[in-house]
Amino acid sequence: MKQMQSWKKRTLIIGLIAGAITGLAAAQIVIERAERERTVPSISPGDGVKLGLGVLGLMRLISDMGDDK
């Protein structure tokens, strides 16, 4: 049972680190673009929908990994 919990904990930690690094990189891209254009970053509702659908698509790809259909 302890070994079962070990891989779950390791998977959660890896996911947390990967998500934090990805979020940090995305924020850096937004900041650099805003500085280059000399504007305050903002996301339109349409861009928010696109971003949300992209994240959902990525989550679906991850959840389908390893499925031998």
Of 28, 26, 69, 16, nearest in space to 51 by CA: 26
The span from the CA of 52 to the CA of 46, in Å, is 10
Q: The tokens of 33 are what?
A: 């673009």
Of 4, 15, 25, 13, nearest in space to 59 by CA: 15
For CA atoms 29, 35, 38, 41, give the dihedral sign. Answer: positive
From first to last of its 69 residues, the chain has per-residue pLDDT tens of 666 678 889 999 999 999 999 999 999 999 999 999 999 998 899 999 999 999 999 999 988 987 766
Name the pTM for this structure.
0.71
Q: What is the pLDDT of residue 66?
A: 74
Q: What is the pLDDT of residue 57?
A: 95
Angstrom CA distances, 69 to 32, 59, 64, stand at 42, 18, 10
